[in-house]
């Protein structure tokens, strides 16, 4: 399982993002819309309008890493009660968010168990 380190700085883009954006589009969004440096030691997290897909962008020594997760059921509990377009989380809070927790209420999605695709 690949997950962000719990000690990493996390910047969450609160507005929905077009999931067709890849590394170049997301890094430009970090730089211009979020007013952050995409090359810093941090991860930048984006979600689509339906809240069922997440992309995480990070710079790692000599290139970008792009991580993608799609939910089969339910939705990510994206924080919406706070001010601003960018939210700072801890690495642990990001992992909770990826597990389906509403980080305000600390309740997860139910676990799904499949045996085959399709």
The per-residue pLDDT for range 71-92, each reduced to its tens digit, is: 999 898 887 665 667 788 888 8
C-alpha–C-alpha distance, residues 86 and 33, integer Å: 9
Q: What is the layout of strands, in order, in the sheet containing 63-70?
A: 63-70, 53-60, 42-47, 9-13, 86-89
Q: Sorting pLDDT into bands at 50, 70 and 90, what band is 24?
A: very high
- Mean pLDDT over 8-35 rounds to 94
Model pLDDT, residue 83: 62
Spatial contact of 29 and 45, defined as CB atoms under 8 Å apart? no
Average pLDDT score, the chain: 87
- Mean pLDDT over 53-71 rounds to 95
Stretch among 51-55, 103-107, 110-114 having the lowest mean pLDDT = 103-107
Q: Sorting pLDDT into bands at 50, 70 and 90, what band is 108?
A: low
Spatial contact of 46 and 29, defined as CB atoms under 8 Å apart? yes
């Amino acid at each position: 399982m690949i997950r962000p380190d719990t000690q990493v700085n996390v910047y969450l883009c609160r507005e929905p993002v077009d999931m067709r954006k890849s590394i170049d589009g997301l890094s430009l969004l970090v730089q211009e819309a979020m007013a952050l440096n995409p090359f810093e030691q941090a991860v930048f997290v984006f979600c689509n309008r339906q809240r069922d897909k997440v992309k995480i962008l990070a710079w790692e020594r000599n290139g970008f890493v792009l991580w993608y997760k799609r939910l089969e059921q339910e939705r990510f509990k994206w924080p919406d009660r706070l001010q601003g377009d960018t939210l700072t989380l801890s690495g642990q809070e990001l992992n909770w968010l990826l597990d389906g927790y509403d980080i305000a209420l600390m309740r997860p999605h139910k676990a799904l168990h499949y045996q085959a695709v399709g």
